[in-house]
Structure 1
């Protein structure tokens, strides 16, 4: 009896275990099915949203800090240094004595020159006395010669003696001038034995010590290097040739130095030099940046890492660069019917916004603003008429009317050469814009017309790229104008709005 009860109990436990296992398998299958369903519901695309924000485009470069003006103080004369009156980092004033060279040899030369001048002056007085005597002798003999009391040869000899005495006087006078000039040169060199600072500044380097002899035979030896004003400094950046075209005078610069890692400093581009340097086949151009160092923090010689802000766009639509790199696979909805040419819808809303932004920078008066508003309104009405629902066969040729609900603007068949297509689009847009805004342009001043034409040329000639918006779970291509890029995001404009979902990639297909 007990054995039967025990066997019945074992069979019950086995049945319960089998039921639990079946329920666990069913739960696992249900969970797996739900996960597959959720993954399918999420769609097969990675997306991001179009955002509104700022884009800052900067060029990175390295350089070295230095003073705006650095003066090298040397010696024009040779001699032994007797005194050095300044040291490193000392502040000096203009004409302040900073060193002295032994003047004894030059003082002796001046005394010798003075003695030589005195001797020459004494000789001159003797020669002047001889000249006077020769002049009187010639006058006497000339008078006697007129009376035929002396021979003519005696008169000629007296004249020659007078001329000779005059030449000796002239020679003595020249010797005095020569000796005086030589002595004056020695006096100048004597003054050069006192080395003075040519500017107000700070002593950066000192290369001499008292007792050292300097020799200025071929070139002036460097004794001191003085920075004129460290309150204003400069950086010489080496900018790559690929980026130099974007650098302009007046652009802001931010930079950091390893010595002050927790601080960021500012400067301004002061000069873009034309002296290119080639190193290992890499061409760079020097760009001079001026820096305010009124607090004295920065030091000459520091290596800095700088960024030149070449462009800044505030409050613009921007999208991740991954969205601009995305290209759909062949089987997705990027191709036309039966694998035919691709069709792109281009709407004009973005153009009107860009034109309004251009006009806002022209500082229009009331009359000009009214003319612009009328032109913009007319353009929007024409675009609205194009966007009206039409039959799908309404378009013809390369540029057709948009068809179908929600379609509108310009319908472009993306077949043939891409370069030819872009050129045709650009030419068509230039002609249309010129025609539509001709009355408004006539109200502008010559300077405003110049700005308007330049901005319109830049707007029409802007680079365009395809962007894929996610519509009903499928990527739909739209052409947008591409602007500034900071390497992560890029400015876009055209038929796109803030918050639009754009495709950045495709998810890998789930294993079946």
Structure 2
């Protein structure tokens, strides 16, 4: 009884299996056709997508960390070092005793000077006594001379003796002053035998040992090097002359050190120095970067690899540089025509966006629309006119091929274009307030001076030319703006036929 239902079940499953097999075959065929078309399209073009993100332009340089203020402590006197009271890495305070020099010779000189001062004072007392006696003798002889009781020569001799006694007193007083000054100098040198720290800081180097003799006859010997404050440090970067024009105080700097390979530190450009250095015909300029080292991680003398952020654009459209370099093997017909019109249309579209950002009043918007209409009418009239016999380039500031103007000619073209737009929008600009006018002038100058190029967007399996404005570049990705949006597929090259 039981085998019959099993055969019935197998017969009922056969139609289902046939349906599943047919469905799988159809799905496999559809997948094959889609994949074949995708492979065919992928096999024709190499592409990249337009992305939205950040562009960071940075300049690389190397340098060395050091303390912002470093003081070299020396000795102004000669002598034998008796005590060294600090060592490497010791923290010191201003006025703290850090070393001592044998003071015995200076103490002896002070005692000798004191004795000489006492001797000079005794000589002064003797001279003062002689002066008093000479004064009395002169008075007596002067009175007798008036009565003609003594010879006139005796009066003259008494006057000369008085002057001589006065000179001896002055000489004794001068000798006392001289001996006092010499002794004071010795006392100062005695104080200099105790070497104190001139600042609060950390001892970086110590070049003396107890018992060593220092000689300060020609120049002050260097005994210690003290870093005043290691919580704030500096880096002196060597920046190439080709990049120094982009570096300004206040720019952010990120850097790494081999000693801390897993960490990235930051700083700020403090100063761009004018003292250029020429090494093997390579000119570099020193750039001073200040660094916060509150945690004490960074050490003086470390070599760092730094990047100076000279420009940053956040949330912009960007694309691989390969898309900007691509040019079709044959740009004929509509492609060439689009390249010729793109620059002018691109500037007009950009001007509309800049005007929209100014929050225009109705009257201001009407003035802008009138200026745009006049520009478009002039462009349409120019396009309707017979073409000039000589082939024109892709327009000012473009990266198109063939016959690129010289730098001087490009500058002249930009100046003429800038003046043309100023004339076209003179009425509109007059309706703006001061802040709007300033922003408008900056926008027009930036747009006219911008570089434009043609990229090729893949649409329906075929590339179509699109004129875009080129902005900042980090060497791999470049900012673009114009009739493109995030997700657009741009052609970077053609694949070889299989």
TM (normalized to structure 1)?
A: 0.79
Match of 2:484 among 476, 496, 504: 496
Structure 2 SS opposite 1:343: helix
- Spell out, residue by residue over 1:277-332, the C-alpha distance to the aligned partner (whole angstroms, 9 max, x if none): 11111111111111111111111111111111000011222121011122222476
Aligned counterparts of 1:473 and 1:161: Cα–Cα separation in 2: 127
- Spell out, residue by residue over 1:373-409, the C-alpha distance to the aligned partner (whole angstroms, 9 max, x if none): 445544555677789xx899624557xxxxxxxxxxx
Match of 1:346 among 338, 343, 346: 343
Alignment map for 1:473-492 (pairs within 5 Å)? 473-492=461-480
Change (3 A) 1:125 1:490: same
- Equivalent residues, number: 457
The runs of 5 or more residues in structure 1 that have no matched partner are 1-31, 399-410
Report what 1:309 is aligned to: 309
Tell me, yes or no, if the aligned pair for 1:43 and 1:473 is still in contact at 8 Å: no
Report what 1:76 is aligned to: 76
Change (3 A) 1:454 1:349: closer
Q: Is 1:509 the equivalent of 2:497?
A: yes
Change (3 A) 1:370 1:263: farther
Match of 2:421 among 433, 437, 444: 433
Aligned counterparts of 1:143 and 1:356: Cα–Cα separation in 2: 116
Report what 1:467 is aligned to: 455
Report what 1:28 is aligned to: none
> What is the deviation of 1:142?
2.0
Structure 1 SS opposite 2:255: strand
Report what 1:394 is aligned to: 384
Tell me, yes or no, if the aligned pair for 1:241 and 1:283 is still in contact at 8 Å: yes
Out of 496-505 and 446-455, give the one that drifted further. Answer: 446-455
Question: What is the alpha-carbon root mean square deviation over aligned residues?
Answer: 3.5
Report what 2:214 is aligned to: 214
Report what 2:26 is aligned to: none
Report what 1:323 is aligned to: 323
> What is the deviation of 1:150?
2.1
Report what 1:103 is aligned to: 103
Aligned counterparts of 1:135 and 1:355: Cα–Cα separation in 2: 109
Tell me, yes or no, if the aligned pair for 1:48 and 1:502 is still in contact at 8 Å: yes
Structure 1 SS opposite 2:297: coil
Tell me, yes or no, if the aligned pair for 1:49 and 1:499 is still in contact at 8 Å: yes
Structure 2 SS opposite 1:323: helix
TM (normalized to structure 2)?
A: 0.82
Tell me, yes or no, if the aligned pair for 2:321 and 2:476 is still in contact at 8 Å: yes
Tell me, yes or no, if the aligned pair for 1:344 and 1:478 is still in contact at 8 Å: no
Structure 1 SS opposite 2:340: strand
Alignment map for 1:153-302 (pairs within 5 Å)? 153-302=153-302
Tell me, yes or no, if the aligned pair for 1:81 and 1:101 is still in contact at 8 Å: yes
> What is the deviation of 1:136?
1.9
Change (3 A) 1:156 1:75: same
Aligned counterparts of 2:40 and 2:96: Cα–Cα separation in 1: 85
The runs of 5 or more residues in structure 2 that have no matched partner are 1-31, 389-397
Change (3 A) 1:424 1:306: closer
